[in-house]
Amino acid sequence: MKTREEIDSLGSVELPVDAYYGAQTERARKNFIDSGLKLPGAFIRSLAIIKRFAAAANAELQLLETKPAEAITCAALEVIDGKFDHSFVVDLFQTGSGTSTNMNMNEVIAFRANELLTGTKDGKSPVHPNDHVNLGQSSNDIIPSVIHVAGLMAIKGELVPALEKLHNVLAQKAAEFASIRKIGRTHLQDAVPIYLGDEFGAYARQVALSLKRIENASENLRELPLGGTAVGNGLNTHPEFAGRVIQMLSAHLKIDFFEAVHHFEAQSAKDAAVEISGALKTTAVSLTKISNDIRWLASGPRCGLGEIQIPSLQPGSSIMPGKVNPVIPESVLQIAAQVMGNDLTITLAGQGGNLELNVMMPVIAYNLLQSISILSIGARSLAEKCILGIKADMEKCSFYLDKSLALATYLVPRLGYDRSAAISKKAHESGKRIADVVLEEGILTQEELDKLIR
């Protein structure tokens, strides 16, 4: 350990100012260049899928010889299988068109294609990354096409099945709890009686509407900018190229894609991505409502509402023995918050369309695909690890219902608002039930009361 004198003496050492700030600047530059964020695997695979069919289309159009086309196809398939995941090193924060990632893909495919053709590792001969792998394409039309393809694949393959699962489980619980009466609540205060099945039916309907919104917003993702090349006018691409690639994509992925109606719009604006992100945000808001309600209804177990019991997944406290927290609903709340933040980023990036090109496409791709992925995980976890195992505490539901002052509402048609309010106030002050006050004071008979309330 250094002495105090040794520590104090360090302060007198004069450091070269240029060296100090030079090191800081270099460190900052390196951190800026490599943020540690990469475009997700779903994006890389979708880009490779398009490259595969681009080579096939160019071969059909006799713009690319058969052997190079086949080598490009084989290399692209290996990329799709994840063989070269380690080769995609480009940082997320790059040129706004995604050119760096497009060229990364072109070079990986060309390198492997040349190895397949010649046995020699060569990046440019006989297959060239620009002249052959990127033939008929530009980053400006292929990257937005990949956003649509990857997004729609993830929605149909992951998100929709997860939300359908959640909807089915909620609908199942709504039916299971259809006959369980309980107190309703507004403003977190007692309201009139409802059925527990009504609450779960509402959650199921929220998810059904989310599915409908996502389906409607997904329609515009089917439109692909492919074929517009640099600015939207199709320079240096065959007029049939885009149509052939899109036809192959549609058949392979079983999704009906079509060529952009107006290529200049498709490349300069990212409104379709902003639209679907809005639907994802709305879904996140719905899952927030559902998850928060589950937390409230399951609060306790003895000093909260406790009208339902949720599955116990793990100890909920490092200090309080026996405590169990609503782990899954809380994880979904965090997912929802992330999706809402992603939506803001996508909205701001959607404003990045300047003249003939949007220059914030990588960050749109990253946030959109992340939102789809984590919403899928959250919805499925909520369904399978929480909702499915929920049980109703019928005794607690009945207890609250019997004690509620809100039952005075049922008296209004017979006794009027003011008299019913006075009965409610008296019951509250005396600690009695509404029924006790009404019967004790002879206001109604038991039969009359039952008829009003039941």
Q: 182 and 400 in contact (C-beta within 8 Å)?
A: yes
Amino acid found at 77: L
**How distant, in Å, are the alpha carbons of 153, 369, 370 from that of 385?**
25, 24, 22
Amino acid found at 354: N
The distance from CA 436 to its chain's CA centroid, rounded to whole angstroms, is: 51
Residue 229's region, left for phi above 0, alpha for psi from -120 to 50, else beta, is: left
β-strands 223-224, 258-259 pairing: parallel
Residue 14 carries which DSSP code? P
d(CA 333, CA 368): 18
Six-digit token pair at 31? 């951190």
Report the 10 Å Cβ neighbour count for 212. Answer: 11
d(CA 354, CA 344): 19
Kind and range of the H or E run holding 182: strand 181-186
d(CA 192, CA 188): 12
317 Cβ contact list (under 8 Å, min separation 6): 323, 325
Amino acid found at 243: G
Tally the residues of the chain.
Answer: 454
Q: 47 and 75 in contact (C-beta within 8 Å)?
A: no
Q: 45 and 79 in contact (C-beta within 8 Å)?
A: yes
262 is an active site residue: no
Considering 35, 179, 317, 430, which one is annotated as catalytic? 317
Amino acid found at 324: V
Number of helices (H), then strands (E), belonging to the chain: the values are 18, 8
187 is an active site residue: yes
Considering 12, 86, 187, 318, which one is annotated as catalytic? 187
Percent of the chain as helix, strand, coil, to the nearest 5: 65, 5, 30
Residue 247's region, left for phi above 0, alpha for psi from -120 to 50, else beta, is: alpha
Q: 123 and 73 in contact (C-beta within 8 Å)?
A: no
Residues noted as catalytic: 187, 317
